[in-house]
Amino acid sequence: MKFKSIAKLGVVAIAATMVLAACGKSSDTTSRTDSLNWMSNTTLTTLDPSKAVDVTSDQVLYNAMRGLVTPDKGNKIDLAIAKNYKVTNGGKTYTFTLRNTKWSNGKKVTAGDFEYGIKRSADPKTASQMAYYMANIMNYDKVKTGSMSADKLGVKAMGDNKLQITLTKPQADFINVLALPVFYPQQKTLVEKYGTAYGTTSDKMVYDGPFAVKNWKGSNDAWTLSKNKGYYDNANVKLKAINYSVIKDPQTALDEYQSGKLDQTLLAGKQQVNTYKNNKDFVNHKQFMVQYLSINQSKVPALKNKNLRKALSLAINREELTQNVLGDGSFAARGLVPDTLAYMNGKDFNDYATVKDATTGDLTKAKELWAKGLKEIGKKSVSISIMNNNDQTSRSVTEFLQTELEKLPGLKVNAEILPNNVASGRSLKSDYELSVSGWDPSISDPISPLQTKVSTSPINTSKWGNAMYDMYIDRSNNEDANNQNKRFFDLVNAQKVILNDQGIIPLIQKAQPELMKTNIHGVKYLGNGPVWDFSHAYIK
């Protein structure tokens, strides 16, 4: 089995549909020499590494923090704060030697900071949504239930410069997992000083990465990544600052790019992409984010009916969505696992694991199943709401889904268009009926998205559950963990279970077109949650 990519969690952020105004001329280079003006179409929600789950928070933390290792392009992992490491005890013990590096407040980054940060993330009192990535660390199973103190987790500082992590069993992708923010170091004194306010503003946080965050007050739509002098590789960080602005309207962002106020902008919708696709500034990035409709059956009891869920999926014309609403290179998703992430015998994972009826449209069949489902539950009509972000593209996608689904007789669809931080918060609380959700694989393995739908997963906000699905995931993590072929097909079977049950409604696998000034170099696009790495960016 061959895996590709490194990635991260994302909650709802589709690229955008907008009528393009007449295209004016603009310089293809930035006039700045040591700073960049960058845009985001969603807001920053937290700087707490234990609690970050959305794409924008991860993007910022990835550039402002460093863990033991860090992801790189092309399915690679680079050493970061770890200078080297060794694996002993039959693959169960990892010992890391740390570099000499400092926090942005001048204090030394120590192995104790890593021990504290990881244990804080594991502690159920912290309520980290990403702590399940620690499942294989010794004693985590007891720590997560509260039956054992987080102090007993298998993570131990051995002086200031050595850290040891002990697993319950060998885990082939463990080094990849360590790149996630939930494994970042944290300063105990700072956490204790600020309590629940920790990470809620840029000055209630400390940073060990290439940049430090400045000027974020917790709710404003602008912040700055400022060069961090304490960072161990500071000499190779060329930019002094990246100035972020949240711009939800793609036409406004394009106008600011053309006027020179922005050095980069995300393009949105077919018209913008077609207008600029031959421009020298144009770049289109393939992503591993799969977006889907999450179905909260507990909020809409009618959707416990399988025929109604299948009818919803069949009612959606994904070709129309990708070609005419988005038009940005996104394509219909074939499952929860993205295409090109994993292969077996030269075939893509989804060549084995897709279910056509669960991922394609057929309005005639949709109406038949809808009528059948309504009869089974004794109703003539159903009302549901779709929750999504309030950027322009997400609005357009929601309106499209609303129109498509209301082609089913007796179905009323309401739209809940909310700011990113509000939608994200409600999603994590399972406070929605249908939600346009997204997932970037956090590691180069189908287990990353599939693990989120296990009955006990804290990320399973829809609370969908299936014993057969759980069995396949458990088997892949345990008895078949060291048998590559068996494990691959455990995961194939798991995806087939959720698709056959229509536990989710797959929509798209994203692409991200953008314009970027041609004299900007060294910005790494990782194709996942963190997206851009500015640590070696420069202007020439």
Within 8 A by CB and 6+ apart from 203, the residues are none
CB of 185 closer than 8 Å to CB of 178: no
Domains defined along the chain, listed by start: 42-245 (3.90.76.10), 286-511 (3.10.105.10)
Phi, psi of 412 (to 5 degrees): -110, 125
Quick one: what percent of the chain has pLDDT higher than 70?
94
| 3-class SS letters over 78-119 | EECCEEEEEEEHHHCEEEEEECCCECCCCCECCHHHHHHHHH
Mean pLDDT of 406-414: 98
* Local confidence band at 26 (pLDDT 50, 70, 90 cut-offs): low
pLDDT > 90? residue 283: yes
pLDDT value at 18 more than 80: no
The 10 Å Cβ neighbour count of residue 502 is 25
Per residue in 141-191, pLDDT tens?
Answer: 999 999 999 999 999 999 999 999 999 998 878 998 999 999 999 999 999
How many of the other CB atoms lie within 10 Å of CB of 509?
Answer: 26
- What pLDDT, on a 0 to 100 scale, did the predictor assign at position 241? 98
Decide if pLDDT at 396 tops 80. yes
pLDDT of residue 8: 38
The token pair that represents 276 in the structure block? 């600029």
Residue 23 pLDDT > 90, yes or no? no
| DSSP three-state, residue 354 | coil
Residue 13 has pLDDT above 90, yes or no: no
pLDDT at 19: 33
Reported confidence tier of residue 527, pLDDT bands at 50, 70, 90: low
Q: How far apart are CA 188 and CA 196, in angstroms?
A: 13
Task: Please report the sign of the dihedral spanned by the C-alpha atoms of residue 192, residue 194, residue 200, residue 205.
Answer: negative
- Where does 299-457 have alpha helices with state H? 306-314, 318-320, 349-353, 356-359, 363-377, 392-405, 420-428, 447-451
| Dist. CA 376–CA 323, nearest whole Å | 35
| Confidence bin at 73 (pLDDT 50/70/90) | low
DSSP state of 325: I
- HEC-encoded secondary structure of 500-531: HCCCEEEEEEEEEEEEECCCEECCEECCCCCC
CB contact set of 318 (below 8 Å; sequence gap of 6+):
332, 359, 360, 361, 507, 508
The pLDDT assigned to 24 comes to 42
- Residue-wise pLDDT tens digits, 436-493: 999 888 777 899 899 999 998 888 999 999 999 999 999 998 888 878 899 999 999 9
pLDDT at residue 151 in the model = 97
Give the distance, in angstroms, between the CA of residue 358 and the centroid of all CA atoms in the same chain. 23
The pTM of the full predicted model, rounded to 2 decimals, is: 0.79
Q: Please give the share of the chain, as a percent, with pLDDT higher than 90.
A: 80
Q: Is the pLDDT score of 377 beyond 80?
A: yes
Inter-axis angle of helices 467-477 and 484-500, nearest 10: 160
Cα of 322 vs its chain's centroid, Å? 20
User: What span, in angstroms and rounded, lies between the C-alpha atoms of 23 and 459?
Assistant: 42
Backbone angles phi, psi at 273, to 5 degrees: -65, -45
**Residue 456: left if φ>0, alpha if ψ -120 to 50, beta else—which one?**
alpha
Q: What are phi and psi of 312, to 5 degrees?
A: -60, -45
Q: Which of 351-355, 390-394, 535-539 has the lowest mean pLDDT?
A: 390-394
What is the pLDDT at residue 459?
85
Our measurement of the distance from residue 8's CA atom to the centroid of its chain's CA atoms, rounded to an integer in Å, reads: 4
Could you tell me what percentage of the chain is helix, strand and coil, using 3-state DSSP and rounding each to the nearest 5? 35, 25, 45
pLDDT digits (tens, 9 = 90+) for 177-207: 999 999 999 999 999 999 999 999 999 999 9
12 or 394: which leads in pLDDT:
394
Angle at 163 between CA 160 and CA 168, to 5 degrees: 160
What is the residue-averaged pLDDT of the chain? 92
Cα end-to-end distance, the chain, whole Å: 41
Range 421-450 burial, b when 16+ CB lie within 10 A, else e? bebbebbbeeebbbbbbbbbbbbbbbbbbb
Confidence at residue 213, expressed as pLDDT on a 0 to 100 scale = 99
What's the pLDDT score for residue 6? 33
User: Between residues 24 and 281, which one has the greater pLDDT?
Assistant: 281
3-class state of residue 328 by DSSP: coil
Least confident of 191-205, 252-266, 343-357, 419-433: 419-433
* 17, pLDDT greater than 60: no
Residue 346 has pLDDT above 80, yes or no: yes
Nearest to 225 by CA among 68, 37, 55, 71: 37
**Predicted local confidence at residue 12, as pLDDT:** 38
DSSP string covering 175-227, please? HHHTTSGGGS---HHHHHHHGGGTTSSGGG----SSEEEES--SS-SEEEEEE
Question: What's the mean pLDDT in 248-276?
Answer: 94
Provide the pairing of β-strand 162-166 with 532-533: unpaired
Q: CA 155, CA 278: separation in Å to the nearest integer?
A: 52
Overall average pLDDT of the 32-43 stretch: 93
Cα separation, 449 vs 454, in Å, equals 10
pLDDT higher than 50, residue 10 = no
d(CA 34, CA 115): 36
pLDDT at position 29: 84
- Reported as a single tens digit per residue, the pLDDT across 88-99 is 999 999 999 999
Residues listed for the chain: 540
